[in-house]
Amino acid sequence: MDILQELEDRRADARLGGGEKRIAAQHSKGKLTARERIDLLLDEGSFEEFDMFVAHRCTDFGMEQDRPAGDGVVTGWGTINGRMVYVFSQDFTVMGGSVSETHGKKICKIMDLAMQNGAPVIGINDSGGARIQEGVASLAAYGDVFQRNITASGVVPQISLIMGPCAGGAVYSPAMTDFIFMVKESSYMFVTGPDVAKTVTNEIVTAEELGGATTHTRKSSVADGAFENDVEALAETRRLFDFLPLNNREQPPVRPFFDDVNRIEESLDTLVPANPNTPYDMKELILKIADEGDFYEIQAEFAKNILTGFIRLEGSTVGVVANQPMVLAGCLDIDSSRKAARFVRFCDAFEIPVLTLVDVPGFLPGTSQEYGGVIKHGAKLLYAYGEATVPKVTVITRKAYGGAYVVMASKHLQADFNYAWPTSEIAVMGAKGATEIIHRGKSAEEIAARTAEYEARFANPFVAAEKGFIDEVIMPHSTRKRICRAFASLRSKKTQMPWKKHDNIPL
């Protein structure tokens, strides 16, 4: 009986982490504790913990006197809506969640199990970084985690939640995972902090400005989403998880759906305005074709000229990439190419079909784009589409000009179904620009007349359709039905690329 009691006592002690006072301090910052976060993330009662009694082995600086059970990280597995997931959650109340040799080993253990058993890993980061007292042993622990992030990439989905400090080399573990979510005002990520920035570059900047959620979702694009508090971030992570397959050999989950596949949306017939220069909201199209109008947007605050995220069609996950005419007229540029390329590659790695909605007048011109390397960055998206072997369905709603036409999942990049609305203009460039080149030096009246002729002849989907580059010109109102049927017909798609060690994507 005593031994049972001892187990209970030891468990209670471990669950207390750094003690009541530090838990209160954590709460006073608006943060939940490591265990509270796991409780909200996982289905009730589903958490199975590993290594609750693991303690560090450091004997320097009197550390042998202080060996808290669990060593600053809670690890284990559980379920989200019944589907398995491995989790680690750093406990800031125990030595600031700092990473020791044994702390790192705990994380590695669940990552190895996740890869072995084919289930995603969700890491909750809240840590002061390397455990200073352990020195290089702590760096080694990080290195071991990094290697597993790399090995697991493309095998099981990896999601990082940043819910406190994440600084120095520590940022590179989340950076190698598939999605990063941050909490506004209580999390930050930077390679070097504000003090170092001040010393080296004379910049005066707060931690929030340098590496807070707003910075990383709007400026750097390091993070994929930002939430108001821990509770919202955890709830939204559950929502994302439901879209994802458990590993790269499984199909994405199919959910019961209550939305008619044949649903007709008459309003889509008037979505594209009569004037080709008037913008419209591409998000409306996404919401109107998705099951139950549910769209999980990724990187909503960054490069808003392209939309990326997940929907379901007939209950199955589909990744969506869509030009947004409301921002920069939907032009492709460095940021939007990088954003969409990474998204397409995630989808392809995890067998998630890709739907592409196109209204793109071309690549954004100018020195800032060229000096910034738009050639290499634009090539990322082109490359990502061309190497993706998942089912690819494309709908052109309006403009599809020039190189951007080819990039946006055209037939030439082995898209499976390429549809165009009757409002499409698929051409080498806009009518005026084309006429000015062909009829260089002619009078303004002549150019205007020739532009009108060019428009009538080429600003439509039929020239491309005549050549078979468009499989079918479809009615906007039947878009949901057409793409659902297209994806349904592609469920057993199999294609192969020639053997290679790995590709050499233009990084």
Give the residue, chosen from 7, 24, 132, 235, that forms a contact with ligand HXC under the rule CB under 6 A.
Answer: 132
Q: Tell whether residue 90 is a contact of ligand HXC (CB under 6 A).
A: no
β-bridge pairing 425-427 and 48-50: unpaired
β-bridge pairing 392-401 and 417-420: parallel
Q: Tell whether residue 96 is a contact of ligand HXC (CB under 6 A).
A: yes
Helices (H), 29-163: 34-41, 101-117, 136-152
**Cα separation of 300 and 316, whole Å?**
22
Q: Is 118 a catalytic residue?
A: no
Q: Tell whether residue 139 is a contact of ligand HXC (CB under 6 A).
A: yes
Q: Tell whether residue 148 is a contact of ligand HXC (CB under 6 A).
A: no
Q: Is 168 a catalytic residue?
A: yes
Give the residue, chosen from 68, 76, 128, 211, that forms a contact with ligand HXC under the rule CB under 6 A.
Answer: 128
CB of 130 to ligand HXC, least distance (A): 4
Options 404, 409, 431, 464, the catalytic residue: 404
| Of 193 and 372, CB closest to ligand HXC | 193
**Cα separation of 295 and 309, whole Å?**
7
Q: Tell whether residue 168 is a contact of ligand HXC (CB under 6 A).
A: yes
- Residue 232: partners with Cβ closer than 8 Å, 6 or more residues away: none
Q: Tell whether residue 165 is a contact of ligand HXC (CB under 6 A).
A: yes
Residues 39-78 that bind ligand HXC (CB under 6 A): none
In the chain, the amino acid numbered 342 is R
Q: What are phi and psi of 214, to 5 degrees?
A: -65, -45
Burial of residue 85 (CB within 10 Å: 0-12, 13-18, 19+) is buried
**Residue linked to tokens 């709460």:** 27
**Cα separation of 430 and 441, whole Å?**
18
Q: Tell whether residue 225 is a contact of ligand HXC (CB under 6 A).
A: no
Q: Quick check: helix, strand or coil at residue 416?
A: coil
Q: Is 213 a catalytic residue?
A: no
| Of 170 and 234, CB closest to ligand HXC | 170
Q: Is 404 a catalytic residue?
A: yes
Q: Tell whether residue 449 is a contact of ligand HXC (CB under 6 A).
A: no
Options 118, 154, 169, 315, the catalytic residue: 169
**Cα separation of 181 and 124, whole Å?**
10
**Site stretch for ligand HXC (CB under 6 A), options 91-99, 270-278, 285-293, 463-471:** 91-99
**Site stretch for ligand HXC (CB under 6 A), options 54-62, 112-120, 166-174, 478-486:** 166-174
Rg (CA), the chain: 26
Give the residue, chosen from 14, 54, 73, 130, that forms a contact with ligand HXC under the rule CB under 6 A.
Answer: 130
Q: Which residues bind ligand HXC (CB under 6 A)?
A: 22, 95-96, 98, 128-132, 139, 142, 165, 168-170
Catalytic residue numbers?
A: 168-169, 403-404
